Structure 1
Amino acid sequence: MRILEQGASNLQGGGEGSAEAVGMIMLAMSTLLYRSGRRQDAMEKLKATQQVAPSAAFRVAAWEATMGLSMEAYQDINTSVSPDDLVDLSIKDDNMKWSNQDHLKSRVNAIKGLIALINGETESALFFDGYKDPFAGVGNEHTENAVLSYGEYLHCVGDYPLATQMYERVLETTSMEDMSGNVLAACNMATEEVSLGATCSYGQLLSHSGKFSEAEDYLTRALKKAEEQFGANHPKVGIVLTCVARMYKLKAKSEGSSSIMVQEGLYRKALEVLKAPAINSESVSRLMDWRDIISLARGEYAELLLVQSNRKAEGERMKEWAEDAWRNRRLSLAQALEFSRPSKLTVVDTRIGRVI
């Protein structure tokens, strides 16, 4: 961090290209802060980046990451937010205007669509109008994040074929070797996060499609990516483990088999990594990180216990806790636990750690 700070300081007021270099360093600093567990400091750095951004592209990238962290932190935000909120609107330079650049508008609208989804707003589809062409923008002008969000929207409403195209194209693009070095993105919207998110979401879609062998493959890849990028005890690992456990639940239901021990082991590990508060604690009434995922995992775990006569009381307590903790605006916990309604599918977004 000190090296990055020194680099930014040395470049201040430099020659041609120095402003862009400072912007890149500030985005990198925000990502480093985020990954070290300092989310609020990362958000402050992103806000500073927006204010000194040398171009609209930098401003949108910093705003996109700020919104990503805000969603992860369960902050109350709505679709009226804009990259212009923290900057001087008297700026007339066309280079600073994002609204007349289609690829930047797509990124902004996709974030608004994601916000609409987590807020349970039916208007979320309106923000994705620019993606009627399945491959428009993918791999061009850093729109992979936006296309992933569109894929998740399609997944949520049951359009598996088009969602599949979106996920596969994003995975193809983010697998390019030099991708991460050229993309203006930060924090939980960085390229590595997009790759992890697309891998996990595609695994969930394959599971919802009944393609369990392929689903297991993609979810295993997602788990490996999460462990390699963040460490075995990072919350992102717990999020992916929850998705893996849900895949085994759906597989057992589809095949008329049982995998209670496997599922229980996965949910226990996921909740441990997510640092879920104890059932008898009062933490549920306070702000809790990863609330959606912890509540979902506990709800699923409770269902496993409720079918075992000697553990039914434990299951009832766990179910009550999960229902009390659940705050999702699009789905009730009962709907999130149910797989039978394509129009009310549960999709876990690993970028923001939310159920959408």
Structure 2
Amino acid sequence: MQLFILLIISGLASCKSGIFDNVSVYVRGLDKTVEDTILIEFDDSLAPHLQHKPSEIITIKDQFIPKLDTNSVANLTTVQNLTLARNGIRDILRGAFQNLPNLKVLNLSGNAIEEIRIGIFNELPMEDLFLDNNKISRIGYKAFSHMTLKKLFLQNNKISRWSKDWFADSSVSRLDLSFNLIEDLPPNSFHLMSKPVNDSMSLIFTGNQLKKINNDVFNGVERFQRIFLDGNLIDRLSPGTFNGVKHINVLNLNNNSLYDLNSDVLKSTQVDILMLEDNKLRCLSTDIFRMEELDIDGNPITCFCVKSWLAWRDIHSNPSIYHITNLEQECI
């Protein structure tokens, strides 16, 4: 009987597992001269295995970690760059990341995360957060609020709705939501993100399902480095779409269904580069020609329109910037 009980206990011990179960952790110092690989056989926390190790850079990828529990990745006081990519992570509980005072980059790309709850990331001091190529469809109220984030990557997920409250008092200057399922952007979508000290903001909504961009969507942010709305279903822009925006370096509207672009849409906004390739435009008013570069290939521009452009070009300086050489040749 004693032998039988001993065998049971032994069997239970051999089946013991934790959040980190036979997981290899690659650690490295910032100077890249000191590095090591640690095997965690079973444990719920990283910290005990990284004591007295060069741990400014930690990488765990291409392994099996189904979830991150409270304190799973906590008390790593020296880590600056933490990668947990392609590990099959489905769920992250509140408090999984705590006491990471020097964290700058957190990479959770290529997992199976479905929801971002409030409190998971809010107190982290990081600048770059990678959540791309997951299965995120739900984002909690103020999930990215009160953060020092500069870059947030959420591309290739399943996000279908936008909430400005996600970013209350945030400092995101580059937001990538390309290849999601977003259909609509409400007025003042980004004004809660207008408090960073950066000079301008970049928004990337490539490959969503946006059809119409309403008035005042971008109101509250004066300067944008880039607004990418290409690869959507946009057929028109309301005259007040860019109300409050003074300058956009690059506005990308390629590969949509625009059949018209009223000159009033950009009347009070300086755009340096306007990209309109592969839409349904038959003409553009010369009143809109105030940018440094206009790309308009792949539109069914009429020869009547081209001739009006040529007449405008003859009386204005720097006539070659509007990329109409091919259209001019076709209409001669």
Structure 1 length as normaliser, TM-score? Answer: 0.27
Q: Which has the larger share of helix?
A: 1
TM-score by length of 2: 0.28
More strand by share: 2
Larger radius of gyration: 2
